[in-house]
Amino acid sequence: MKKIFKYYLPLLLFICCTLPADRKNKDFNFTDSLFEINARGSIIVLTDYSSTDYYIYRGQPLGFQYELLQNLAGYLGVSLDVEVVSNLDEAFARLENGEVDLIAQNLTVTTDRKEKADFTLPIMKTRQMLVQLKPRNWQLMSKKELESHLVSSPLNLGGKTICVSSGSAYASRLENLSEEIGEHIEVIETDKSIEQLITMVSEGEIPYTVCDEAVAKVNARYYPDLDVSTAVSLEQNLAWAVRKGETPLLEKVNKWIAGFTRTSTFRLIYAKYYESQKPTSLVESDYYAINSGKISPYDDYIRQYSNLIGWDWRLLTSLIYQESRFKTDAVSWTGAFGLMQLMPVTASQYGVQPESPAGEQIRAGVQFIKWLDEYFSDVPDPQERIKFILAGYNIGPGHVDDARKLAAKNGADLNRWDNHVSRYLLLKSEPEYYNDPVVRFGYCKGTETYRFVTEVLERFEHYRNVVRQ
């Protein structure tokens, strides 16, 4: 960090000193998002959850936008911090205020939006499609008869009522279309997401909505009674947005898009979410979190026992996913078994065996977590203590104690995990450190534990984004 700052400082001073007078005043907020991203080591991105772009399925975050963002973060050499917002007006406000670095949704590039943000190169192209319900017994109708029951041309939308998501480009397109055809189209904007509106059309609660073509086709596979064949716009670009004037970040992201969208990896990701037949079974699954609010088959047990330790149940769920992928019969090469992957000696202390039912396995694991919480009770910050508990759960509290002693000896904070105790746990694989007199438990490979803590907490944030408390 010091080297980065030393490198950038002369450049920043030069820029600030040579700014025009109107850009030197105290009201001008000069930023460089790319510099900030590199300095903090993460890119903060706003997206929305949907059946294609970002969701939780069987405990794992997935989605078209999510996988693209993972690749972008890897290209930038930083971690990915995803936040969810369903209201686009709020999203652009947070972008403008500097709270986030990027909006990663399928944003139609419009003149109005260009006044709020700068847009990347297109991620893909789309048309806006009308979503409507086919008539009863449509399977028995001829094509001509079916078309007679549907709005098959945007010219026939006069007098119709169409519900769309607030802040979307669909409302402005329909208003323009109303002018073009010379008839009034009643447009109702709502806070409901586009997928909620599509579901409402499929259930006959509203007559029409509008969405992007790729999303329309995916949802038509979920709901075969929907018709999505009528376009209400010409082809449009879909892109991401950065804050106005953030040229270095925009150029960096554009360079990545220009290369990545030509790769087979991009084509595979696109096909996975927009062309695969798997989504039908996905949406019907009890563990498609957007629809069901469930993460695993054991949510009830997890909610019950998480109260014993004062944890958010979604954090405990993330730990269980990390350990066993929700498999009650999972066994590791070390002999750890079950949902909580307890070692046999520890498991016997809490009265469970490999054949014990799921609820008992979770109860035993939570009791062990409670013991670890008491063990690390001298860590004053509860949020920091969770990181120590997770590390102790993975590698054992003795190795974590050693890392704390090394941290204290070398001037770091023994009560902080990131860049303090975690650093010395990683160093415990080197003779200089595992042979240090303060170390009791010798060598350990800390990389696995470091990754364990990071991934459990990152997945927890994804669960918080998508699944309610």
What residues are labeled active site?
323
- Residues sharing a CB contact under 8 Å with residue 237, sequence separation 6 or more, in sequence order: 108, 109, 122, 125
Q: Report residue 345 as tokens.
A: 């000696």
Say how far apart CA 422 and CA 437 lie, in whole Å: 19
CB atoms within 10 A of CB 7: 9
Maximal CA-CA distance, the chain: 86
Say how far apart CA 278 and CA 320 lie, in whole Å: 25
Asked if 105 contacts 168 with a C-beta cutoff of 8 angstroms, the reply is no
Say how far apart CA 291 and CA 267 lie, in whole Å: 27
Kind plus residue range of the DSSP H or E element containing 163: strand 161-165
Say how far apart CA 123 and CA 39 lie, in whole Å: 27
Say how far apart CA 121 and CA 134 lie, in whole Å: 36
Coil, helix or strand for 6? helix
User: Which residue is listed with tokens 């009643």?
Assistant: 186
Closest CA to 211 of 191, 231, 240: 231
Strand partners, 119: 241
Closest CA to 216 of 130, 342, 96, 102: 130
Cα 371 to chain centroid, rounded: 32
Coil, helix or strand for 141? coil
User: Which amino acid does the sequence have at 445?
Assistant: K
Cα 113 to chain centroid, rounded: 24
User: Which residue is listed with tokens 């449509």?
Assistant: 138
Using the Cα atoms of residue 327, residue 328, residue 331 and residue 336 in order, give the sign of their dihedral.
positive
Asked if 320 contacts 362 with a C-beta cutoff of 8 angstroms, the reply is yes
Phi/psi at 243 (5° precision)? -65, 145
Asked if 171 contacts 164 with a C-beta cutoff of 8 angstroms, the reply is yes
Say how far apart CA 167 and CA 190 lie, in whole Å: 9
- Residues sharing a CB contact under 8 Å with residue 277, sequence separation 6 or more, in sequence order: 221
